[in-house]
Amino acid sequence: MGCHGGFALDEATRRSWYTPESILQELNSGMVFADIGCGDGFFTILAAKKVGEQGKVYAVDVDPAAIQRLKNKAKAEGLNNITAKVGMGEETVFCNKCVDVVFYSMVLHDFADTSKVLKNAKQMVKADGQLIDLDWKKQEMPFGPPFKIRFSEEQASNLIKNAGFQIDNVTFVGNYHYTITGKSFG
Ligand SMILES: C[S@@+](CC[C@H](N)C(=O)[O-])C[C@H]1O[C@@H](n2cnc3c(N)ncnc32)[C@H](O)[C@@H]1O
């Protein structure tokens, strides 16, 4: 819970910032989704409900307690389509060319080696697959990660492009965040 710059993140707070469902609006039944740096799995659970039993959700986080909380939530909700593991995004490729959407929520700036994490995304994503990056605007705010570690939309877009994705869309989401969507090609 302390991963947002010491700001306790409950669902109501998150929903005051953005509508999570609209961030996953392109996710449909039967799709495969990978949530990298998933934390407690707020988006993992939403995605698992959207892709349904015909779909599949992969999730990874370096924090074992967060993964355990995610597993508990999935069990409580009766969701059987999630594979969650403890690990580093830098070391995780769940499968080759098998994922429709690789997702990062408020985490891209946290990785020790973001380029390696994105290279792994390129390996996982299908030829026509997508990357979605939700992150904090690079502005001073009374909460969230420190200004100096935040990625501007331009910085994040360049990293995503360098990993072999084409930038489709950059959108401001509420007052504090942006999303970048990238398409894999080839
Ligand atoms: C700000 S939280 C965001 C969690 C989640 N995506 C969300 O929206 O609530 C960042 C998460 O990234 C995880 N993390 C940091 N570095 C990581 C790494 N190298 N590999 C995997 N997870 C990492 C942290 O443990 C933490 O759970």
Work out whether the CA dihedral 43, 9, 160, 36 comes out positive or negative: negative
CB burial of residue 117 (10 Å; 0-12, 13-18, 19+) = buried
| pLDDT for residue 18 is more than 90 | yes
Kindly report, residue by residue over 127-172, the tens digit of the pLDDT: 999 999 999 999 999 999 999 999 999 999 999 999 999 999 999 9
Res 95: pLDDT: 97
Q: For residue 14, is it within any domain?
A: no
| Number of domains observed in the structure of the chain | 1
Q: For residue 161, is it within any domain?
A: yes
Amino acid at 10: D
Q: For residue 24, is it within any domain?
A: no
Q: For residue 15, is it within any domain?
A: no
Q: For residue 46, is it within any domain?
A: yes
Average pLDDT, whole number, for the chain?
Answer: 95
CATH number of the domain within which 58 lies:
3.40.50.150
Whole-number Å distance, alpha carbon 132 to ligand 1 midpoint, is 15
Q: For residue 156, is it within any domain?
A: yes
Q: For residue 21, is it within any domain?
A: no
Res 6: pLDDT: 56
For the chain, the helix, strand and coil percentages under 3-state DSSP, each to the nearest 5: 35, 30, 40
Residue percentage of the chain with pLDDT more than 90: 92
Q: For residue 18, is it within any domain?
A: no
Nearest to 20 by CA among 2, 35, 32, 6: 35
Kindly report, residue by residue over 88-113, the tens digit of the pLDDT: 999 999 999 999 999 999 999 999 99
Confidence of residue 1 (pLDDT cuts 50, 70, 90): very low
Please state the rounded mean pLDDT for residues 10-21. Answer: 93
Element (H, E) at 127: strand 125-136
Whole-number Å distance, alpha carbon 38 to ligand 1 midpoint, is 6
Q: Measuring from atom 8 of ligand 1, which residue has the nearest CA?
A: 105
Q: Which of 36, 70, 107 to mutate to test the pocket of ligand 1 (most atoms within 8 A of CB)?
A: 107
**Cα-Cα-Cα-Cα dihedral of 13, 81, 116, 152, to 10°?**
-20
144: Cβ below 6 Å to ligand 1? no
Res 185: pLDDT: 77
Range of the domain at 40: 30-184
20: Cβ below 6 Å to ligand 1? no
